[in-house]
Structure 1
Amino acid sequence: MSAPEERPAPTSRPSPDATSPYESAPRETSSHETSLHDYALSRHGIEPDGRVPARGYPLPDGPPEPSRPRLTLREAQEEVASALADTLADPDPVRAAAAVHRLVRSLVMPHRTLRACVIRLPLTDEAAARRTGRRLVRTGTTPAAVQVGLGLLSRLGEPEDAPWLTVLGLLKGFERPVVAALDRLDRQAAALLMLRTRVRDTALYPLLDAVEAGDDTAVLAALTGLPPDFRTLGCARRIAEAADLHRLLRAHPRDPALLARAAGLLHRMADQHDVRAEILDYGPATDAYETLISHADLLPATPGHRAVLLSIALDLHSGPAALLDWRPGRREALLDALGRLPAAPAPGDAPGEPAEGRRADWMARTGRQPFRVPPDGERLRIEVVAEDPADRNDVETRILVDGRPLVPALFGKGPGTSPERLLDTGLLRAGSEPREVRLAEAYCSEGCCGALYVTIRREGDEVVWGDWRGAVGPPPPEYRFDAAGYDAELERADRDRPWSWPARSTARLVADGLRERPDLLTRWDALPGWVGTAWDEPDTVEVYFTYWPGLAAGNRDREGPWLQFGWRIPQDGAPVGERAAAVLDRLASTDPKTRAQVRGGSREHAEALGHPWPERG
């Protein structure tokens, strides 16, 4: 591999002799080759602004990465073991690294597969393998050989390896595995690398620069100075780790700006609209909650501050934060402290700010929910939780067994299913026949990352939840509930609806009416679809339906054209019941296609059926 024209490497490069005596031995690379480590340093040194491009610097020119679509993991593991097992036991790291460079040429497989096999490879001498892994990471000249070293240090690395791994993480294809390796060795280095290579928001740059400069005063100023609307979803934990939030809170526990930023980050970490709630992987989470809540009275009682503290209370009560390793009684004590904070003042008249009114209404409806003390011995609890409308308008059904929320404990890839699907339809009720119920779907979709299912059945005086499907980790146990108590809890959850606002209540009544009278749509050759509130206008009801010609006459052509329509119905101030009845009456008398817009199908189907296809910008 030819080395690019290089400038002198930055002086921050770690010294091989300072970290390991064997690094003073001659390198096995020839004079016209350079290690990937040195190449990454040189690329970083010549960047005019020192910024790392998205996903890292491109690798030097070389052979393309191998691809074997039909290769199974078992076959790959056998090939890697046969090629490398003996070499990785060689006590001489220079000789072993040179051999790895030769041997990996015969391993025709993607680099991520090679690395995964090395991580799983049985080793007869871990100390020898560690030395070889270091040699490959520091002096390896081909991506495949360096990936072998990365795989070894992912399982055997020590804190002294963190600087070398960090440099490799600047290269495309290495960032994700290096971050994973650093997570075990140096969380702050892992966070800095992830934020440098994945987050493109320039507002974050001053914080990253201050952390790398080791300037604590600048770190505090940059963290608290992030714009109020800075989106931390998906990277809140990494920001907290990079800034060492826990240490900052201990040093400045009475700084209102820092407390406000910590509150926002902790709540974002508990968000379930991702692969896994970040709070479960944030090591100092319980201490950070303790410090924040102990000084929460120092935050001005503004609607924004009280809203995020209420959201944190919901996280601690029934969300992922309830799963943290709490000392006995501490979580309950923190909830009690939050419950004793004074309420935010009611907003003034602001007709031009409907979002402020929605947030105030949410706090009024939700304000006491996380502070209710459950009855002693309560086995099953169903909490329907509406999120702060300033964030999103989602509502989820949280199921707690013995005080522990099931969905984040067993699935962790998305929030619980909506109450309209679980409660309003009676899916959670236990009947004479077993019923499989979807409790949660992955944030991306079931087809992408799965869903969590449980089979509910009644056995005499008990309701049984078992035959789980889609759970992450070991198979969940079978849960048994007293049938009378189970039914009573479902009834209570169905009646207790402070989470619902007028438009959502209207949508529920419309959906109930369409279930009871399906002819309201079939008479117009339409099938009912989703009914709810618009994601961008929570005070607007949306009714979706599919137009399929011939449906009313019973001669629907399943191969023929069809279209999906959406009908938006703004709230007009009328009582919920009257508004829902008016919508159903209109469906009975007027073809809804005259008021709705095409939302799905195809342009060809729209042209065939005489409807305009929406032009999207």
Structure 2
Amino acid sequence: MADLLKPLLVDPDAVRAAAETELRLAVMEPAVRDNQLLFAVRDVVLEDEKRARALGRCLTRTGSSPAAVCVGLALLARLGEPADVPYLKALGGLRDFVSPAVYALDTIDRQAGALVWLGHHAEGPELRGLVAALAAEDGIAVRRGLAAVPRDPGVVRPETARRIVEAVRPAGLLDEEGMELPLLRAELVALTGWLLFRATSLRDDKAEILHCSEAVRTYEAFVASAGALEPTLDHYGLLLSAAFELHSGPSRLHDWGPGRREALLAELESVLNRPAWQGVLEPGAEPGEGADRGERRRFDWARRNARQPFRGAVGAVEAVGAVEAVRAVEPLGRVDPMGPLLRIETVVRDPVDSDMVEVRMLVDGRPLVPEVFGRGPAHSPEWLLDSGRLRATEKPREVQLAEAYCTEGCCGALHVTIRRDGAQVVWSDWRCPPPPASPLYVREIPELRFDGAAYDAEITRAENDYAWTWPAREAARLIAAGLRDRPDLLTRWNMQLGWAGTDFRDPDRTALCLRYEGAEGSPQDLMWHIPEDGTPPGTRAADALRRLATVDPRTYGA
């Protein structure tokens, strides 16, 4: 592709160059796919941007083959100007050109790109009214369409949420004075918080919030308007989730400028410390017996984690003073004779997002995994902490820190080699695929050298921090610890522990995956579920271990 395009990109006659491009693409074997064209043009060196732009415009406006039009769109993704937007939007109305048109629009006019994307991907009737209102630029209808957006993860996926934020720009609506029907201000604040929450979900192929051009402005508007929300458990969850993101999530990686992110965290803490909001989590406010299990689970999550995003931030500042504040804005890998600061935090996401649990590794205050990987969350505390994988010894050990949701064999994983080198602990020899395209991702991961004593103290602290856990998960942890101490409990049955945690669909059920060799040597997984019965986690774990000592798990039944 580079050889094909290079002479055409400098041709002073754009019409002639476009015709030649069509001819050359037509005879290529095999035919080139759209994404290949986009990547190829993205990497071609442009010697004359003015002539390359003219060729791109000629191909997009007069091209007679899909491949030629895609080359034009790829050129305008690099060189396009506002005058090109109407043409790109028109091409985006054709199904075959949606992706390359949005790719180009995202670099010129993110709002237009979001609208084109929503026009094709927001297929449900719940969102069609909003798309039509945006296309018609009807402000009242946009509010009406927003009011109809369902808070349903099945309808509003992470990218859908991000595109709605970019297309609607709710921060601007929140700045308007005297908002009236059909969307009350409090409703807009809550919906804005929920859209941010969905865009931060890591149950997708990338962290959509990192690609959101409106993220900083939207967070600021949401936090500034938090006082308009009624103190309820649902709204408490939205504010606490925003605090977790600003403290240690991917959202922290945006360009906040001095003190802006810290000010938002302080404001969230101030709101949640008000008596009315404190009352949401008082014992008397606990959902009753007739309440939905999900509501009770969410109440318990909020009570367990209410202080974590604020306590962690204060602790880091107290530990290292002003140095942390300066380091937090530095890019990963800057040279510092003191070495980087490491903070390990286990974070549980709001249970409305299926109780995702991850170990967040903050290097100089910046979350490492989303900055260098971006294809899924970090692994669980059971994998990284309970196993001792993050401990450093003189013998180098490669550790998988994160894996893509589709598995490592598909989109890769993040690996690092951990070793002790004298008084230091070194993280080096990184292995990972290139992260998704975003200016916020680090492309080359530097070697990290930590002070050994501080590193050991932080790992020990994190390994012994169980404040985040809940009874079913604690029972699983205790069972796994018992099996590490007594591997014979499984080896006597020719089994081994695959993993221990909680059921994906029911976090109140302890789940153990036991692996063994089946007929003809084929590997088999046996799932053992232990329901919540009101007894202490330690009691349930001891009962499970006793049962394993005497009864073959293959006889347990369903």
Q: TM-score normalized by structure 2? A: 0.87
1:33-75 alpha-carbon deviations (Å, 9 max, x no partner): xxxxxxxxxxxxxxxxxxxxxxxxxxxxxxxxxxxxxxxxxxx
Aligned to 1:70: none
CA, structure 1 residues 525+121, in 2 after alignment: closer, same or farther (shift >3 Å)?
closer
- Whether 1:77 aligns to 2:2 is yes
Is structure 2 residue 234 aligned with structure 1 residue 265? no
* 2:511 and 2:530 in contact (8 A); partners too: yes
Look at both structures and tell me which one has the larger radius of gyration over its CA atoms.
1
Q: Is the 8 A contact 2:110 2:213 kept in 1?
A: no
SS of residue paired to 1:102: helix
- Please give the alpha-carbon distance, in whole angstroms, between the structure 2 residues aligned to 1:417 and 1:210: 41
Which residue among 36, 41, 57 is the counterpart of 1:134?
Answer: 57
Match status 1:359 vs 2:298: yes
Tell me the residue number matched to 1:575.
Answer: 536
Aligned match of 2:105: 182
Query: In the aligned structure 2, how far is the partner of 1:248 from the partner of 1:425?
Result: 48
1:376 paired residue number: 319
| The one of 167, 171, 192 aligned to 1:246 | 171
Q: Does residue 156 of structure 1 match 2:118? A: no
Which residue does the alignment assign to 1:23?
Answer: none
Which residue identity lines up with residue 323 of structure 1 in the other structure? L
How many Å separate the matches in 2 of 1:384 and 1:159? Answer: 45
Whether the 8 Å CA contact 2:41–2:71 is kept in 1: the answer is yes
Alignment partner for residue 148 of structure 2, among 225, 247, 257?
A: 225
* 1:292 aligned partner: 222
In 2, Cα distance between the equivalents of 1:544 and 1:126?
57
Q: Match for residue 15 of structure 1?
A: none
Report the number of matched residues: 510
1:4 corresponds in structure 2 to none
Amino acid at match of 1:306: Y
Partner of 1:110: 32
Kept in 2, the 8 Å contact 1:567–1:596? The answer is: no
Aligned residue in 2 for 1:387: 349
Moved more, 382-391 or 121-130: 121-130
Residues of 1 paired with 2:545 and 2:45: CA distance? 67
> Measured at CA, do residues 126 and 547 of structure 1 come closer, stay the same or move farther in structure 2, by a change above 3 Å?
closer
Cα deviation for residue 525 of structure 1 reads 3.1
Q: In 1, distance between residues paired with 2:225 and 2:366? A: 27
Displacement after TM superposition at 1:306 (Å): 0.5
Higher helix share: 2
**For structure 1, which runs of at least 5 residues remain unmatched after alignment?**
1-75, 550-556, 598-617
Cα distance, 1:493 vs structure 2 = 1.3
Uncovered stretches (5+) of structure 2, i.e. residues with no partner: 180-184, 272-276, 325-340, 436-441
What amino acid maps onto 1:571 in structure 2? Answer: E
In the TM superposition, residue 383 of structure 1 has moved relative to its aligned partner by 0.7
Code of the residue aligned with 2:547 in structure 1: it is: R
Pick closer, same or farther for the CA change 1:99–1:433 going to 2, 3 Å: closer
Instruction: Report the residue type matching 2:12 in the other structure.
Output: P
Task: State the Cα distance separating 1:416 from its structure 2 match.
Answer: 0.9
Between stretches 126-135 and 257-266, larger displacement belongs to 126-135
Distance 1:139 1:545, change over 3 A: same
3-state SS, counterpart of residue 166 of structure 2:
helix
Q: Does 1:440 align with 2:370?
A: no
State the match for 2:89 in structure 1: 166
- What do the CA deviations read for 1:420-468 (whole angstroms, capped 9, x no partner)? 1111011111112111111111122111111111111112222122222
Tell me by how many angstroms 1:77 deviates.
2.5
Instruction: Give 1:562 deviation, angstroms.
Output: 4.8
Which of 347, 352, 359 lines up with 2:286 in the alignment? 347
CA distance in 1, matches of 2:21, 2:494: 68
Q: Distance in 1 between matches of 2:15 and 2:421?
A: 67
Partner of 1:524: 493
CA distance in 2, matches of 1:253, 1:365: 38
Q: What is the CA distance between 1:596 and its match in structure 2?
A: 4.1
Shift of 1:258: 0.9
The residue number in structure 2 matching 1:321 is: 251
Looking at structure 1, the residues matched to 18 and 102 of structure 2 have their Cα atoms a distance apart, in angstroms, of: 23
Determine if contact 1:183/1:190 at 8 Å carries over to the other structure: yes
Distance 2:177 2:371 in 1: 33
Kept in 1: contact 2:126–2:148 (CA 8 A): no
Note the alpha carbon deviations across 1:513-548, whole angstroms, 9 max, x for none: 122222222222323222211011111111221233
Deviation at 1:224, TM superposition (A): 2.8
Q: Tell me, in whole angstroms, the C-alpha distance in 2 between the residues paired with 1:198 and 1:340.
A: 39
Go from structure 1 to structure 2 and tell me whether the alpha carbon gap of 1:432 and 1:120 turns closer, same or farther (over 3 Å shift): closer
What does residue 605 of structure 1 align with? none
**1:382–1:174 Cα change, 3 Å:** same
Q: What amino acid maps onto 2:156 in structure 1?
A: R
Change (3 A) 1:408 1:560: closer
C-alpha contact (below 8 Å) 2:169/2:214 kept by paired residues: no
- 8 Å contact kept, 1:253–1:291: no
SS at 1:574 equivalent = coil
- Mapped pair 1:211 → 2:134: yes
* Aligned AA (1:110): V
TM-score under structure 1 normalisation?
A: 0.79
> SS state of the match for residue 398, structure 1?
strand
| RMSD (Å) for aligned C-alpha atoms | 2.1
Kept in 2: contact 1:468–1:475 (CA 8 A): no
Contact 1:407–1:415 (Cα < 8 Å) also in 2: yes
Deviation of 1:253 (Å) = 8.8
SS in 2 for 1:340: helix
1:436–1:253 distance in 2 versus 1, CA, 3 Å: farther
Give the SS at the match of 1:234: helix
Q: Distance in 1 between matches of 2:39 and 2:425?
A: 43
What is the rounded CA distance, in whole Å, between the counterparts of 1:589 and 1:561 in structure 2? 25
What secondary structure sits across from 1:174 in the alignment? helix
1:513 equivalent in alignment to 2:485: no
What SS is found at the alignment partner of 1:505? helix
Asked if structure 1 preserves the Cα contact closer than 8 Å seen for 2:162 and 2:195, the reply is yes
C-alpha displacement at 1:179, in angstroms? 0.7
**Taking structure 1 as reference, are residues 191 and 436 closer, same or farther at Cα in structure 2, changes over 3 Å only?**
same
* Contact 1:568-1:596 within 8 A present in 2 as well: no
2:450 equivalent among 468, 481, 487 = 481
